[in-house]
Amino acid sequence: MDAEPILIIGAGQIGEALGRAFQERGERVVFWDNNPAKMRVPLTLEDAVKGARIIIFCVPTVAYDTLLLEPALNRQRDHVDILALSKGLLENGETIDSALEKAFGSRYALLAGPMIAEEINRGKHSFAMLATRDHDLALRLRSIFAGSRICIDESSDVRGVAMAAVLKNVYTVLLGIADGLSLGANVRGWMVQRIMREMQVILRAAGGDPKSVWELCGLGDLVATGTSRESHNHETGRSIAQGNVDLWMGGEGIRSLTLVRQRYGEILGRHSLLALLEAIVMRSSAARAVTEQYLKDCFPAQSGFEKA
């Protein structure tokens, strides 16, 4: 087996879970994090990237603005494969695939799907869409998952997978709010079908394939994280519903909400679920009232929502 290591940048829950899965099948794994306390072996980024054949980004999107400017990474542009799991937009609204293409050319791929870290650690199956336009790169990256319980599908719709992952995080917060308000399975089912319609509209506008919303990166991940107490974005939504403001500030879903609304809110209209989520975030203490009014506005001929 090739002794060149896999470098995981970001030693959080998903980074640790992936690293453990790779190590169990005999891969050599190196971790680097900007928090030295999370590294098993203290390393500079310069030392960590030396000799790595694959670098996996498991960091929040907010870190990309500085991370992609690191000289140690730039020097490896033509010598290493890049795999990114981040699911957000950069501060300027740029998608992950666009930022990575500027930094590494075509030698990168995205990974998105139902991969809850706690379940990976418990040895349960997880599933992900590997998105790249480079077939040879896809083959190299698939090989590191061979023999693991992380099941990989492929897509060439890089922009669609990137945006589906962003939107999944945003809408998962709303599903968490619905659960926190105990609105029930019927409302959740109605929200999911409406979410899928809105995601298709946004993917088309963003330059992706609308059909990608039905893949692992879209519906698959939405169902997994939108119903799991082990999903950060879902629990963020529950915290919002319960008025625990200090518990939900930050996170990819909330951070991406404003950026998505600024860019795509107009094409969805004022009755979109994105508009509802933004209204609830702005008035978290009145989450139930805002939601009930939204349902009345969507179904004006109905009555009795306040009794639900």
Q: Which active-site residues does the annotation give?
A: 168
Distance of CA 50 to the CA centre of its chain: 28
> CA-CA distance, 133 to 84, in Å (whole number)?
14
The answer to whether 50 and 34 are in contact (CB under 8 A) is no
The Cα-based distances of 303 to 63, 192, 209, 270, 292 in angstroms read: 47, 22, 38, 21, 11
3-state secondary structure at position 83: strand
Q: Running DSSP on this structure, what letter comes out for residue 106?
A: T
The pair of three-digit structure tokens given for residue 245, joined into one six-digit string: 């403001």
The pair of three-digit structure tokens given for residue 74, joined into one six-digit string: 């730039």
C-alpha torsion angle, residues 118, 1, 29, 89 (rounded to 10): -70
Residue 39 identity (one-letter amino acid): M
Its sign, for the CA torsion 273, 98, 142, 9, is negative
Beta strands in the chain (DSSP E): 6-9, 29-32, 54-57, 81-84, 108-112, 126-131, 150-155
The answer to whether 252 and 259 are in contact (CB under 8 A) is no
The strand order across the sheet containing 6-9 reads 29-32, 6-9, 54-57, 81-84, 108-112, 126-131, 150-155
Place of tokens 């002794």: 3
